[in-house]
Amino acid sequence: MKKILIISISIFCLFNSASFAKNDLYQKIDLFGEVIDKIKKDYVDDVDQVEMIDSAINGVLQSLDPYSAYMSPELFKEMQTDTKGEFGGLGIEIGMESGVVKVISPIDDTPAYKAGIRAGDYIVKIGKEQVQGKTLMEAVKLMRGPVGTSIDLTIRRKNVKKPLEFKIIRKIIEVRSVSSRIISKEKNIGYVRLKSFNENSDSQFLKSIKKFKKNSKIKGYVIDLRNNPGGLLTQAINITDFFLDEGEIVSTKGRKISETRKFFARKGDEIDGKPIVVLINNGSASAAEIFAGALKDHKRAIILGENSYGKGSVQSIIPLRNGGGMRLTISKYYLPSGKSISEVGVTPDILVEEIGNDFKINTEKDNQLNYAIKLFNS
- pLDDT per residue as tens, the chain (378 positions): 444 444 444 444 444 555 556 678 888 888 888 888 898 888 888 888 888 888 888 888 888 888 888 888 887 877 665 344 445 689 888 888 877 889 988 888 889 999 999 988 999 999 988 888 787 878 888 888 888 889 999 999 988 889 999 999 998 877 788 999 999 877 789 999 999 998 889 999 999 999 998 887 899 999 999 999 998 999 999 999 999 999 999 999 998 888 899 999 999 999 999 999 999 999 999 999 999 999 999 999 999 999 999 999 988 889 999 998 999 999 999 999 999 998 899 999 999 998 877 788 888 889 999 999 999 877
Contact 104, 309 (CB under 8 A): yes
Q: Are 158 and 253 contained in the same domain?
A: no
Q: Which amino acid is at 346?
A: V
Compute how many other C-beta atoms are within 10 angstroms of the C-beta atom of residue 72: 21
Question: Is 2 within a domain?
Answer: no
pLDDT of the residue at 41: 87
Contact 235, 225 (CB under 8 A): no
pLDDT of the residue at 86: 47
Q: For this structure, is 297 an active site residue? A: yes
Cβ-Cβ contacts under 8 Å for 202 (sequence gap 6 or more): 235, 238, 239, 242
- Using DSSP, state whether 191 is helix, strand or coil: strand
Phi and psi at residue 308, in whole multiples of 5°?
-75, 180
Q: For this structure, is 267 an active site residue? A: no
Q: Are 229 and 133 contained in the same domain?
A: no
Residue of 68, 201, 284, 286 marked catalytic: 286
For residue 161, what are the domain limits?
86-174
Q: Where are the alpha helices (DSSP H) in 183-244?
A: 201-213, 233-241
Q: Are 270 and 351 contained in the same domain?
A: yes
Residue of 297, 308, 313, 331 marked catalytic: 297
Q: Are 240 and 345 contained in the same domain?
A: yes
Question: Is 80 within a domain?
Answer: no
State which of 174, 204, 235 marks the end of a domain. Answer: 174
Residue of 54, 108, 311, 366 marked catalytic: 311
Rounded-to-5 percentages of helix, strand, coil across the chain: 30, 25, 40
Question: Is 79 within a domain?
Answer: no
Question: Is 12 within a domain?
Answer: no
Q: Are 282 and 341 contained in the same domain?
A: yes
The predicted model scores a pTM of: 0.79
Question: Is 366 within a domain?
Answer: yes
Q: Are 146 and 251 contained in the same domain?
A: no
Contact 62, 96 (CB under 8 A): yes
Contact 57, 325 (CB under 8 A): no
Q: Are 155 and 228 contained in the same domain?
A: no
Q: For this structure, is 366 an active site residue? A: no
C-alpha to C-alpha distance for 355 and 97, rounded to whole angstroms: 25
Question: Is 71 within a domain?
Answer: no
